């Protein structure tokens, strides 16, 4: 039996999640339990840690020291074969011409109507060897379905690969203690293949925190516990602690969550990801005609920042937004930031109302709350920290 905590500042409810064989445990599951995790959600059909005890305490450790996250639920879709590079470009509107071997890219995968399938990090391990490190949707099945009709020579599988994230300003010192000084010089969004005591891994300079960080992709699940302990020992001198992906820090940084801030019914222009869409490239990709049309005609709604007055809040569902008594959108994510000392969030609103400073009313379950649109990201707008 695994507890799943559900609640806000206004109320807390404890539900129960019953694991079954179809809800997979990560290679780090035993370690997370041993270090105090007592609540899990389900992400890509796998148990994902969501509660060690105090999200604000984890937030401060993340921004001041270093944290270790079990994110094995970021499953990998591996694409290989003679046509792998051409096939990967078919899946995304981002032009991958500059994504050479050893580099990573944040990409979006689009459907035929321009809707977003997923927003993975793409890792290029070889000329025709790619991983898609996934958000929460069934991209393995999508990719295999596309390949069935693509007339390309590719192999698509889910490999035995499970990532950890080492995030925070002291992540470089922690990683250097494990892998040497070469780690400190790794460029943002690059990768290297290596081993640690014969444990096969890939390291990337990526993360979901808005802080400097790394991901360690374990390539053999039997070493999950050993890898976890090695990282914890290396980070002890730097005040490392286990943590869950920080909702506070990712909203501060304007990092989006698939299934929350964007879905299959959302297109990239609505979430401000125009830079990831190249409709002028010669190479074809799924959704190209639809996205070209959307770009030409414009969009009706746009994701923006929002600040909410009052006591601490956090939403577990989308909250309706009103302006002048008329519904104009919804809050997709919100949380209290102890650093900024205010409630911050992301909201999808009518495009004409997305400019900062527009006063709104949030229809939260417990009360009507006063809010206003705001510039996003809320902190480190030039993204200097993760670089």
Give the pLDDT confidence of 118-137 residue by residue, as tens digits. Answer: 999 999 999 999 999 999 99
For residue 235, the SS3 value is helix
By residue count, the chain amounts to 387
What is the rounded distance in angstroms from the CA atom of residue 58 to the CA atom of residue 275? Answer: 32
List, for residues 241-269, the tens digit of each pLDDT value.
999 999 999 999 999 999 999 999 999 99
Can the peptide bond before residue 116 be classed as cis, meaning omega within 30 degrees of 0?
no
The pLDDT confidence band at residue 1, using thresholds 50, 70 and 90, is: very low
DSSP code, position 221: G
Residue with tokens 């900062």: 356
DSSP code, position 92: -
Is the pLDDT confidence value at 6 over 50?
no
Which residue from 74, 71, 85, 79 is spatially nearest to 32, judged by alpha carbons? Answer: 71
What is the rounded distance in angstroms from the CA atom of residue 283 to the CA atom of residue 180? Answer: 40
| The pair of three-digit structure tokens given for residue 365, joined into one six-digit string | 């379950």
Domain span(s) for CATH 3.30.70.1400 in the chain: 76-157
The pLDDT confidence band at residue 7, using thresholds 50, 70 and 90, is: very low
Other C-beta atoms closer than 10 Å to the C-beta of 340 total 13
What pLDDT is stored for residue 22 in this prediction?
85
Q: Residues with Cβ < 8 Å from 368, sequence gap 6 or more?
A: 361, 362
What pLDDT is stored for residue 139 in this prediction?
98
What pLDDT is stored for residue 19 in this prediction?
74
What is the rounded distance in angstroms from the CA atom of residue 76 to the CA atom of residue 123? Answer: 10
Domain span(s) for CATH 3.30.1360.120 in the chain: 2-74+160-250
Percent share of the chain, pLDDT over 90: 94
Domain span(s) for CATH 2.40.30.110 in the chain: 300-378
Mean pLDDT, all residues of the chain: 95
Residue with tokens 């509107």: 93
The pLDDT confidence band at residue 9, using thresholds 50, 70 and 90, is: very low
* Alpha carbons within 13 A on the beta-carbon side of 335: 18
| The pair of three-digit structure tokens given for residue 55, joined into one six-digit string | 């999200």
List, for residues 307-326, the tens digit of each pLDDT value.
999 999 999 899 999 999 99
Is the pLDDT confidence value at 168 over 50?
yes
What is the rounded distance in angstroms from the CA atom of residue 45 to the CA atom of residue 224? Answer: 18
What is the rounded distance in angstroms from the CA atom of residue 314 to the CA atom of residue 345? Answer: 9
Residue with tokens 């889910």: 158
CATH topology of domain 2-74+160-250: Gyrase A; domain 2 (3.30.1360)
Q: Residues with Cβ < 8 Å from 231, sequence gap 6 or more?
A: 68, 164, 166, 174, 178, 216, 240
For residue 121, what are the β-bridge partners?
106, 133
Is the pLDDT confidence value at 160 over 80?
yes
Q: Number of H helices and number of E strands within the chain?
A: 8, 23
Strand order in the sheet with 191-196: 191-196, 199-204, 213-218, 162-167, 66-70, 240-242
Pairing of strands 39-43, 129-133: unpaired
What is the rounded distance in angstroms from the CA atom of residue 200 to the CA atom of residue 198? Answer: 6
CATH, domain 76-157, list 2.60.120.10, 3.30.70.1400, 3.30.1330.10, 1.20.1560.10 = 3.30.70.1400
Other C-beta atoms closer than 10 Å to the C-beta of 387 total 10
The residue-averaged pLDDT of 63-90 equals 98
What pLDDT is stored for residue 13 in this prediction?
59
What is the rounded distance in angstroms from the CA atom of residue 226 to the CA atom of residue 146? Answer: 38
For residue 357, the SS3 value is coil
Is the pLDDT confidence value at 86 over 50?
yes
What pLDDT is stored for residue 10 in this prediction?
41
CATH architecture assignment, domain 300-378: Beta Barrel (2.40)
What is the rounded distance in angstroms from the CA atom of residue 17 to the CA atom of residue 51? Answer: 14
């Amino acid at each position: 039996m695994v507890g799943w905590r559900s609640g806000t500042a206004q109320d807390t409810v404890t539900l129960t999640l019953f694991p079954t064989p179809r809800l997979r445990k990560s290679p780090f599951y035993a370690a997370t339990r041993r270090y105090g995790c007592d609540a899990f959600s389900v992400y890509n059909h796998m148990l994902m840690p969501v509660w060690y005890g105090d999200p604000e305490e984890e937030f401060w450790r993340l921004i001041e020291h270093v944290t270790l996250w079990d994110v094995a639920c970021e499953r990998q879709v591996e694409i290989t074969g003679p046509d792998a590079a051409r096939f990967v470009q078919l899946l995304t509107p981002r032009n991958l011409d500059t994504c050479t071997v050893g580099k990573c890219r944040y990409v979006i995968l689009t459907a035929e109507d321009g809707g977003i399938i997923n927003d993975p990090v793409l890792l290029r391990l070889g000329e025709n060897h790619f991983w898609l490190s996934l958000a929460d949707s069934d991209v393995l099945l999508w990719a295999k379905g596309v390949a069935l009709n693509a007339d390309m020579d590719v192999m698509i599988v889910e490999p035995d690969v499970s990532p950890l994230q080492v995030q925070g300003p002291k992540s470089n010192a922690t990683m250097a203690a494990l892998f040497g000084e070469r780690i400190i010089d790794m460029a943002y969004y690059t990768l290297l293949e290596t081993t640690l005591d014969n444990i096969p891994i890939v390291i990337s300079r990526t993360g979901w925190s808005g802080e400097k960080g790394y991901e360690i992709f374990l390539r053999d699940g039997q070493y999950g516990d050993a890898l976890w302990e090695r990282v914890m020992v290396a980070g002890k001198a730097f005040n490392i602690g286990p943590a869950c992906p920080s909702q506070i820090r990712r909203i501060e940084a304007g990092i989006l969550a698939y299934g929350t801030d964007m879905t299959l019914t959302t297109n990239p222009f609505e979430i401000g990801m125009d830079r990831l869409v190249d409709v002028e490239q010669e190479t074809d990709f799924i959704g190209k005609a639809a996205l070209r049309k959307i770009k030409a005609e414009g969009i009706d709604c746009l994701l923006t920042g929002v600040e909410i007055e009052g006591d601490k809040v956090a939403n577990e569902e989308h909250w309706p937004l009103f302006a002048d008594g008329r519904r104009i959108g919804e809050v997709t994510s919100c949380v209290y930031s102890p650093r900024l000392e205010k409630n911050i969030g992301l909201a999808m609103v009518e495009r004409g109302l997305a400019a900062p400073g527009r006063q709104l009313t949030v229809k939260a379950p417990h009360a009507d709350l006063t809010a206003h649109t705001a510039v996003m990201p809320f902190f480190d707008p030039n993204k200097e920290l993760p670089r």
